[in-house]
């Protein structure tokens, strides 16, 4: 029986005994940007997960749009519920492949921290406004490296940071756990966004091409199960994470269908012009009056360009805070009338 000095060391032993040889073991992390004393209870990946959950950017996700601007219904997906979906699917994939669930979960919880208000429309708008361009995955890394904790960042491990910045389909994660999250992100959003579009009356289930459902199934739960099962069958015991060609193609066809009929549809984009004007006006305002930025962002101006810091502030806003700030800056306040005797 091994004698462990800490709970962390016991977790290391469990990982050595049960994880795949292709998994990322916690004890083999490439470390943090700044060295820290290890925790006696938690591995570094577990600490990263906890830091993300308790950061301000994570809490703001509950009021950030996924597809529809400030939806009124209680059951529409927000960035927070999407993130929780991705975390759950990531853990399921990692578990079936005997990979590091803690690492997959930490990446998943942090992957969208840099997302803008007004969903992907906000991302497109800021990409046009900012001279350096804007990508939410790059901004998510900036959030955890720089913006959180009043400019100190969360000081996460290399593996979590790499998974966050590489979670998009075009990315190349350095770990299999990062690849799990990349797949989980796509599995989550094409399925729950389809459900939201049907709930909103934009689509009917019968609008989806039959050949897609023939492979993936028309039931959301079964579609997710089909995707995870495909990944397991094609990745177990291999130094890779992938789907079979048939399921991959059907998933990409559904994704293309969603872009055509939902993400870039007239309904989803009907308010985008207003959001663009709001963000453009606020960008121009803070570029000319940086002293009106919150103090945390003013402090960043010592090390970063004004354009970067203004984009940091705008991208951090929730939908409703962006509307509030626009009204505060540009909409005149009414006077209180006093009856004259």
- Over residues 234-247, the pLDDT tens digits come to 999 999 999 999 99
At 74, is the pLDDT very low, low, confident or very high (cuts 50, 70, 90)? low
Compute how many other C-beta atoms are within 10 angstroms of the C-beta atom of residue 201. 8
pLDDT, tens digit (0-9, with 9 covering 90-100), for 109-133? 999 999 999 988 899 999 999 999 9
CA distances from 189 to 89, 259, 299, 335 (A): 11, 11, 36, 46
pTM confidence score? 0.94
Tokens of 286: 């803070």
- Per residue in 156-175, pLDDT (tens digit) is 999 999 999 999 999 999 99
pLDDT at 339 over 80: no
Mean pLDDT of 298-304: 96
Closest CA to 16 of 27, 4, 30: 27
Question: What is the Cα–Cα distance from 141 to 115, expressed in whole angstroms?
Answer: 11
| Half-sphere exposure of residue 51: CA atoms within 13 angstroms, side-chain side | 24
């Amino acid at each position: 029986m091994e004698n462990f000095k800490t709970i962390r060391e016991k977790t290391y032993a469990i990982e050595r005994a049960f994880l795949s040889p292709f998994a990322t073991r916690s004890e083999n992390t490439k470390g943090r940007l700044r060295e820290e004393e290890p925790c006696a209870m938690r591995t570094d990946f577990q600490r990263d997960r906890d830091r993300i959950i308790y950061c301000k950017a994570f809490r703001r996700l509950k009021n950030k749009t996924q597809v529809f601007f400030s939806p009124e219904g209680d059951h529409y997906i927000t960035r927070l519920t999407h993130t929780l979906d991705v975390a759950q699917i990531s853990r399921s994939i990692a578990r079936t492949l005997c990979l590091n669930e803690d690492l997959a979960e930490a990446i998943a919880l942090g992957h969208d921290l840099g997302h803008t208000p007004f969903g992907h429309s906000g991302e497109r708008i800021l990409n046009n406004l900012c001279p350096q361009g804007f990508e939410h995955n790059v901004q998510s890394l900036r959030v955890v490296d720089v913006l959180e904790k009043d400019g100190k960042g969360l000081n996460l491990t290399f593996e979590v940071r790499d998974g966050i910045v590489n979670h998009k389909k075009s990315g190349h994660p350095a770990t299999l756990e990062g690849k799990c999250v990349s797949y989980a992100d796509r599995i989550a959003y094409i399925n729950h966004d389809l459900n939201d579009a049907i709930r909103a009356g934009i689509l009917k289930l019968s609008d989806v091409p039959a050949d897609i459902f023939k492979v993936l199934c028309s039931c959301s739960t079964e579609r997710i199960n089909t995707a995870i099962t495909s990944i397991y069958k094609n990745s177990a015991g291999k130094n890779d994470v992938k789907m079979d060609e048939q399921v991959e193609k059907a998933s990409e066809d559904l994704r293309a269908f969603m872009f055509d009929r939902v993400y870039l549809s007239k309904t989803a984009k009907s308010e985008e012009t207003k959001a663009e004007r709001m963000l453009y006006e606020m960008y121009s305002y803070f570029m000319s009056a940086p002293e009106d930025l919150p103090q945390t962002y003013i402090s960043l101006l010592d090390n970063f360009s004004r354009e970067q810091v203004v984009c940091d502030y705008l991208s951090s806003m929730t939908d409703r805070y962006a509307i509030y700030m626009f009204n505060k800056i540009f909409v005149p306040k009414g006077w209180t009338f006093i009856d004259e005797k």
